Structure 1
Amino acid sequence: MPDVAMTDRPPPAPPSESPLQERLRILRESTGSATLTPNAETYVKRAAELVHNEEGPVGQRHTIAGCALRCALQECEAAMRTGGGASAKDSIRLLRFAEELRQAIRECDEAASYAGVVDTPTVDMDEADDRPVRGCGAFWDFSEFCGGLDCLGYGRESESSSIDSASPITNKHEPQRMGSEETLQLDGHFLARGAEHCKLAAEASLTPGARQLLENTATELLAAAEEAASRRDRGAAARQFQRAALHLEIVRLLGGKPLAPALEASRRYARWRARRLSHLLENCVLEHSPEDPRTFDAAYSLTGEILGRGGYGVVLGCTRRADQEAFACKRLDLKRLSAKGLARLHEEIAALKALDHPHIVRLREVFYSDTGRTCLLVTDLCSGGELFKAVDKRARPGVRPPFTESRSAELLRQMLGVVRYMHSCGVCHRDLKLENWLFDSPDPDTATLRLVDFGLARVFGPLRPDLSKTRSKTNFDERVGSAYYCAPEVLEGIYDRRCDLWSLGVIAYMLFSGTPPFWGRSDKEILKRVRSTEVKFLPELFRSTSSEGLSLVRGLLQRDVELRLTADQALEHPFFSLYATLVRSVSGLVEGILPDQEEEPPLLDALRSFAALNAFSKLVVEVAAAHLAPARLVQLRQDFTKADLDGDGVLSLAELRSFLGDAKVDERELEALFAAADVDATQTLSFHEFVAAALVRRVELDDKMLHVAFEAIDSEGLGYITREAVVATMGRDAKRYGSTAEVDAALAHAGVGGRVDYNEFLDYIHEQRLSGIGSVSSEETKDERTGSTSPEIPSVIYKF
C-alpha cells in the first residue's frame, strides 16, 4: 500500500445524491436482498451505473437507464400476472418494487426530456452517424438488447419481419432467466444481450444496429491499437489489431452484405499489423477467411466422431489431409454469439495463440466459413478423455479416492505448474474444473494432463484491452464459471486471478475424497453454500489423505484471498516434498536416471546444429515444430518436463545446464547456444523453442511435414514464398534471426525474382540437408514429386 499521512481529521462526507440516484440505490439494495425477478438486478444495476456516471451526454445516459428500468418493470408485471411471488409477503414486495420502478422511470424520462433526447425522430439505422455513440457502442448494444428501442420509436428494419412467428422473440414479455454465461455480466462497455436476442440472431443476419456496433467497435480498437503501437507496447497493440480484425470478420460473415472498401482495407490492414507485432509462435496459428485458398475441407477431413458439445457448438474429431494426423475441431455457430460471446471467442483464440506449455492444448488453425456461418478452431487431440470421467468412474467416496495420493500429487503438480505459467503470462482461466483437464493418452494412471477450453479466459495486467481507460487492469467483475468450482469472491463481482487457485482447491478436494466440497440440488443452492458455508473435511472421506494433503487443500480453499496460496506457494508446499522422490523419478531427475555422459548428449548436438542454421532454415524448423502432431511430441514433452525443475513451464540457462549434466561444454558456448534457441529473447526457453532446437536431430522432416511448414509461411495462399511472407511470419522476433540479408540470400538461391514455390522450397531444404539429419538416412527419404511416397514421420529413436 502507498504511504499516507495519518491525521486526526474525519473522513470526507460522501457526495450528496440526487433524488433519482438515491432511488436507484434503494432499488439496487432491494434486488440484493431477494431476487424479485430473474434479471431485475442486472437492469437496475445498469441504470444506476449510467445515472451515476458523469461522463457522456446526460440525455443519452438517462434514456438508456430508462430503457433498463422498463425491462425490469416488464418482468415485474409479468411476474404479478403469474402469481406475484411464492407468498403474500413476496407479492407485496413485488408491488412496491414495481411502483418504485415506475417513479424512477418517470424521473429518468424527465431528465432525458430536459436534455432534448427523448423526442429524437425515427432514423434509418444505416445512417447511425446522426445518433450519439459513446465508448464501445453501448447505446447500440443496448438497442439490440431490448429489441431495437421500439419504445423510443426507432423500430426495427423490415428484415426482422422474416422471423418465424413461433420464435421466442414473440414472447418477449415473458420473464426468462438469462444464463450465467450470457448475462448478469457487465464489463463497462457491453451490456450482455439477453437470451431473446441470442435466439433472434440464430435465425437472422445481423441487424443494421448490430452491424453498426461491430463496425464502431472495430474502429475504436484500431485507434487503440495504433496508440499502443506508438508507445511501442507491441503486445497490447497486437491484441487490439487481432480484436479489430475479428470484429470485421464477423461483420463480413453475418452482415448480409460486403464490407465497405474502407472497412475491408481496415480488416486486411489489421490482420497484417497483428502478424508483424506478434511472436513467431502466435503467427504459426493461421486464421483463414472464407476467400482464402486454404479451406477447412481442403486441409482436414472430419471423422464423424463427436468429442463434446457446448452452448455455441460442438467438438469433432478430424484428420489433417497432409499427413493423416488426428486433431480436434471446435465448430462454433457465429450466428448464436452475442457481444459477450464474440469477446470470448477473441479471448480464447488470443490465449491459445500466446500460451506455450506442455500441459496446455495447442491451437493449430482457425477457419471462418460462410457455409453455415461458422468458426472452426483446430486444436490438439487428447485421446484419454476428461479427468472428470476418470474421477467419476473410479471414486468410491468413503471407501477409496479415485487415485492414490502419490498419483494425485503428480496430477496436482502438473495443474499448479500450468496455473503458475498462465498467471505469469497475464492470463486467468476462470473456468478450471475436472471437465477441462484432459488426459493425452488412455491410461489415467500414467497419462499427463492438458488444459482446454479458454472461452472464459481473460488477460490481466499491461496486455489487458482497455478502451475506457477506467477499468482495473487486474480485477474482473463478470460472474462466470461453473457452480461447483466458483470462488466466493466471483459471486461478489470483484475478483482477480486468485479465483483459479480456489478452483484448483476444489479439484484437489475431489481428487482426495471423490466428492465435491459443496453440494446442492440446483446451481442456486450450490452457489449459496459456496458463498457462506465453511468447507468440511469429514474423516471418513479423507481417511487415506495425509495431513500435508489436507493442509494444501485448506490453503487453496481459503476464503480470504490474501491468505489463499498462490501457485508458487502451493508448489513449494510440504505436501509435494512427501513425494519428491517419486516425482523426480518420474521426471527422470534422480541419480541414475540421467544417461551415461561419456557420450555427448543428443540435445547438445541438436543445439549446436540449430545454432548453425541460417535465418531461413531456422524459421522452417521453428514453423515445422509448431505444426508437429501431438503424437510426435510425447517424448519431447516428457523430456521438457524432466528439465523443468521448478515447474514454471520454461527452461532457464541453469536448468538447461543441469539437464546436460556433465557434458563437456564451455560455459560461453552454452550461453551462445541458449541465446540462439531463445528466439523471443525472454532469457528462457519455452516449450516450442525447446522442441524446435531438439527437432533438428530427433525427428525426420519429411516432405509431408515440409509441405505443412510451407503452407504456414505462405499465409496468404499465394503458392509461393516471398521475403514479405517470411518477415511477417517471424513477426516481432525477426531481429532475433539475424540479418534479413540471410533471408534474401536464401530466397535468391532457392527461387527466381524473390519468389520460391513449393518445389523450389523442397529443393533448397534438401540441399541444406534439413531432411536428412534426423534418424532416417537421406537415402530412405522418397521424393513425392517423383510419384514415391514419403515414410511416416518416425518416432524419437533415443532419449536424453
Structure 2
Amino acid sequence: MGLCHGKATNELPKKEENKNSNGIIESSNNDTGKNECKPKPFVGESPSVDGISKPSPFPFYSPSPANNGNISFFNSPANSTPRRFFKRPFPPPSPAKHIKAVLARRHGSVKPNEASIPEGSESEVVLDKSFGFSKNFPTKYDLGYEVGRGHFGHTCFAKCRKGELKGQSVAVKVICKAKMTTAIAIEDVRREVKILRALTGHSNLVKFYDAYEDSANVYIAMELCEGGELLDRILSRGGKYSEDDAKTVVVQILNVVAFCHLQGVVHRDLKPENFLFTSKEEHAQLKAIDFGLSDFVKPDERLNDIVGSAYYVAPEVLHRSYGTEADVWSIGVIAYILLCGSRPFWARTESGIFRAVLKADPNFEEAPWPTMSSEAKDFVKRLLNKDMRKRMTAAQALTHPWLRNSHTVKIPLDILIYRLVKAHLRASSLRRAALKALAKTLTVDELFYLREQFALLEPKNGQVTLENFKVALTKNATEAMKESHVYDLLSSMSSLQSRKMDFEEFCSAAISVHQLEGLDRWEQHARCAYELFEQKGNRTIVIEELASELGLGPAVPVHAVLHDWIRHTDGKLSFLGFVKLLHGVSTRSLTRPQ
C-alpha cells in the first residue's frame, strides 16, 4: 500500500498545544478516519493512532545502547519472535514499535497496566536531584502568570527584582523535580542548562540568564520573546509564506543552527514550535529555544539515541547513527512547510510517518510548487536528501543561489572545512591529484562557498597555515566548543604547521565529493575531472603500487578489490577507479559488496 499524498485542506487545523518543559507536545485532533485516503494536513495537526485521536507524546526517545542499565527496544523481549528460517533477509523492526514505551520509561511515567520495557534495578536507585544551581530564585524574581504548560513543567512570565536585569521581564521555565523519576530525565535537564550556559552571543539564540533550584523545582530564566511561535505565524498566513518572506525566516534559522554546529552542538528538535519571535511586529527577530534534547557532538562522533519530533526527524536518526546533518534535514522540513503549507512526510500514525521519512520522496509536483522558482525547489531538495553525506551544511545553505541572490547574507565559518582539510592532509598523493582535477571543474556558484570560507581564514598573501585555521576557530568559540572537543581537529591538522596552502589547494582539500555527487551535474563533473586527470595526473601503475599508496595491508586481497581500478590496455587508472579514489578509500569500503 502506498502513502496518500493529496493536497492540503483549506481549513486551518487546530494548533498543537501544551508544549511541556522538555519540548513534548501533548495534542489531539478530530481525525477519526481509519482507512480512507486523506489529504496531507497543514502543520499543526497530529496523527491519530488506529483511527482514534490520541495524545502525541513527542519528542520520542530511545536511550543509547551504550548507557548502562538501559535496554534498547530493538532487543526488548516484547520485540522477540520464535526462531524461524527465511529464504531472504528481512528488514530490521520499525523504530516506531516501542517508541511510546521507551519515552514513558525515560521519564518514569509508565502506568501499572501499560506495556513497558523492563527497567532492571533502576527504579530502586535513589536519584540525586541536586543540580548545584543557585537557591535564591524567590529573592531575585517575582513569578507571574503562566504562558505555557506541559507534562513535566510550565513556563511563566517573571519580573527581575534586583541585579543587572532589575525591572526587566523574563521567561522562566519551571521543571518539576517530582516528575524526574529516571537518571536520564535528570541528565537531560543538567545538559540543557550546560548547553544554554555555553552557547552565548548569537542574535538568533534565546538569551540564557541563569538556572536556579529549590526542593521542588528547577527554574531556568531566559529572554522573554513575546511575538509567539513561528507555527502561529504560519497558521495566521493561511499555512504558507511567500518565497521572499520564507527566505527571511530560513536565513535566521540557518544562521543560528550553523553557529550551534560550529560549537559542536546539535539541537535535535528543530521545528516551528521551537522558534519564537521577539515581538508581534511583522519583521521581528526570530530566536531558537528549547535545548532540552540538544547534545554535544565530538568531531567524527555519531550519536545513536532516537530523539526529536516525528515529522521533523531525519532518516539517519531512525537508523541510529547521526550528527549535525540531522538538524539540516529538519530545516528542510520547515522550509518545505513555509513554502507550501503542508508537511513533506505525513501519515496517520507514528509508524507511518517514520516509514515515509525513510522511503517516500517529498512531492514537488502539486500546487504551489510548479509556480515557485527552480532555486527554491533545488534548495529544499538539497536539504531533504536522505543521504546525509550529500546534504548541504547550514553554512553552505546560506550560500545557495535561492538565498544569496536576494539577501545580503553573512556567511559563517563552517566546521565541515576543518574535517575535509584534515582528511585531505592524510590522503595519498594519488587521491590529492584526483581531487585537484575535480576542483578545477567547479562552477562559479560552487566556488562561492569555498571563496567565502577561505576569506574567513584571513589568508596572508593568498595563503593560509595552521595558525589561520586556529585563529578563525578561536574567534568564533564559546565554552561549548571546549565541551565538544572541536579543537581536537586542529591537532590532526598539524602537518599544516610547516607549510602554506593557497586557494587552489584549499579548494581541492575542502571540496565535498559526496555533496557534488548529489547534484544533477555530478556525471559531468566526474567526466571533466577525469579528462583533466588523464592529461596531467594519470600514469601507468601496477596493482601492488596502488595498494601500497592506498595503505592497504597484506590481509586485503588487493588483486580482487583493485582489479577494476586499472585499465588493462595501458595500466593506468580507469574512470571507475578514479571515481572510487575521489570518494576516499578504506579497507572496509574496498572489501564490502558493491
TM-score (norm 2): 0.51
| Deviation of the 1:534 alpha carbon | 1.0
Question: Is the radius of gyration larger for structure 1 or structure 2?
Answer: 1
Secondary structure of the corresponding residue to residue 385 of structure 1: coil
Alignment correspondent of 1:412: 250
Alignment correspondent of 1:210: 125
Q: Take 1:684 and 1:483, find their aligned partners in 2: how far apart are those partners?
A: 36
TM-aligned CA distance change 1:499 to 1:342, over 3 Å? same
Contact 2:226–2:278 (8 Å) recurs in 1: yes
Alignment correspondent of 1:10: none
Q: What letter matches 1:449 in structure 2?
A: L
| Deviation of the 1:355 alpha carbon | 0.7
| Deviation of the 1:342 alpha carbon | 1.4
Contact 2:63–2:305 (8 Å) recurs in 1: no
TM-aligned CA distance change 1:390 to 1:687, over 3 Å? farther
Secondary structure of the corresponding residue to residue 410 of structure 1: helix
TM-score (norm 1): 0.39
Contact 1:358–1:687 (8 Å) recurs in 2: no
| Deviation of the 1:538 alpha carbon | 2.7
Q: Take 1:687 and 1:385, find their aligned partners in 2: how far apart are those partners?
A: 28
Alignment correspondent of 2:306: 479
TM-aligned CA distance change 1:181 to 1:497, over 3 Å? farther
Q: Does 1:448 align with 2:275?
A: no
| Deviation of the 1:384 alpha carbon | 0.4
Q: Does 1:249 align with 2:164?
A: no
Q: What letter matches 1:178 in structure 2?
A: K
Alignment correspondent of 2:110: 195
| Deviation of the 1:367 alpha carbon | 1.2
| Deviation of the 1:541 alpha carbon | 2.3
| Deviation of the 1:248 alpha carbon | 6.3
Q: Does 1:460 align with 2:297?
A: yes
TM-aligned CA distance change 1:580 to 1:687, over 3 Å? farther
Q: Does 1:507 align with 2:345?
A: no
Aligned mate of 2:401, from 562, 574, 579: 574
Secondary structure of the corresponding residue to residue 167 of structure 2: coil
Higher relative contact order (CA 8 A, sep 6+): 2
Alignment correspondent of 2:275: 437
How many pairs does the alignment contain? 343
Aligned mate of 2:214, from 336, 355, 369: 369
Secondary structure of the corresponding residue to residue 316 of structure 1: strand
Alignment correspondent of 1:379: 222
Alignment correspondent of 1:288: 134
Q: Does 1:301 align with 2:142?
A: yes
Alignment correspondent of 1:316: 156
Q: Take 1:355 and 1:320, find their aligned partners in 2: how far apart are those partners?
A: 22
TM-aligned CA distance change 1:498 to 1:207, over 3 Å? closer
Identity over aligned pairs, percent? 29
Q: Does 1:523 align with 2:350?
A: yes
Gaps of 5+ in 1: 1-44, 77-93, 102-174, 186-191, 200-205, 215-246, 251-270, 272-286, 290-294, 463-472, 585-644, 655-679, 689-800
Q: Take 2:250 and 2:173, find their aligned partners in 1: how far apart are those partners?
A: 27
| Deviation of the 1:406 alpha carbon | 1.6
TM-aligned CA distance change 1:653 to 1:492, over 3 Å? closer
Alignment correspondent of 2:175: 332
Secondary structure of the corresponding residue to residue 327 of structure 2: helix
| Deviation of the 1:302 alpha carbon | 1.7
Contact 1:437–1:452 (8 Å) recurs in 2: yes
Secondary structure of the corresponding residue to residue 213 of structure 2: strand
Q: What letter matches 1:575 in structure 2?
A: W
Q: What letter matches 2:214 in structure 1?
A: S
Contact 2:364–2:370 (8 Å) recurs in 1: no
Q: CA RMSD in A?
A: 4.2
Contact 1:180–1:479 (8 Å) recurs in 2: no
Alignment correspondent of 2:464: none
Q: Does 1:72 align with 2:111?
A: no
Contact 1:391–1:511 (8 Å) recurs in 2: yes
Secondary structure of the corresponding residue to residue 195 of structure 1: coil
Q: Take 2:197 and 2:472, find their aligned partners in 1: how far apart are those partners?
A: 18
Contact 1:182–1:340 (8 Å) recurs in 2: no
Q: What letter matches 2:210 in structure 1?
A: E
| Deviation of the 1:578 alpha carbon | 2.2
Q: Take 1:429 and 1:479, find their aligned partners in 2: how far apart are those partners?
A: 13
Q: Take 1:301 and 1:499, find their aligned partners in 2: how far apart are those partners?
A: 39
Alignment correspondent of 2:19: none
Q: Does 1:347 align with 2:191?
A: yes
Gaps of 5+ in 2: 1-61, 85-96, 115-120, 411-448, 459-470, 480-594
Alignment correspondent of 1:178: 100
TM-aligned CA distance change 1:308 to 1:515, over 3 Å? same
Contact 2:313–2:330 (8 Å) recurs in 1: yes
TM-aligned CA distance change 1:351 to 1:579, over 3 Å? same
Q: Take 2:228 and 2:249, find their aligned partners in 1: how far apart are those partners?
A: 15
Q: Take 1:567 and 1:208, find their aligned partners in 2: how far apart are those partners?
A: 41
TM-aligned CA distance change 1:544 to 1:308, over 3 Å? farther
1:7-41 deviation digits (Å, cap 9, x = unpaired): xxxxxxxxxxxxxxxxxxxxxxxxxxxxxxxxxxx
Alignment correspondent of 2:461: none
Q: What letter matches 1:319 in structure 2?
A: K
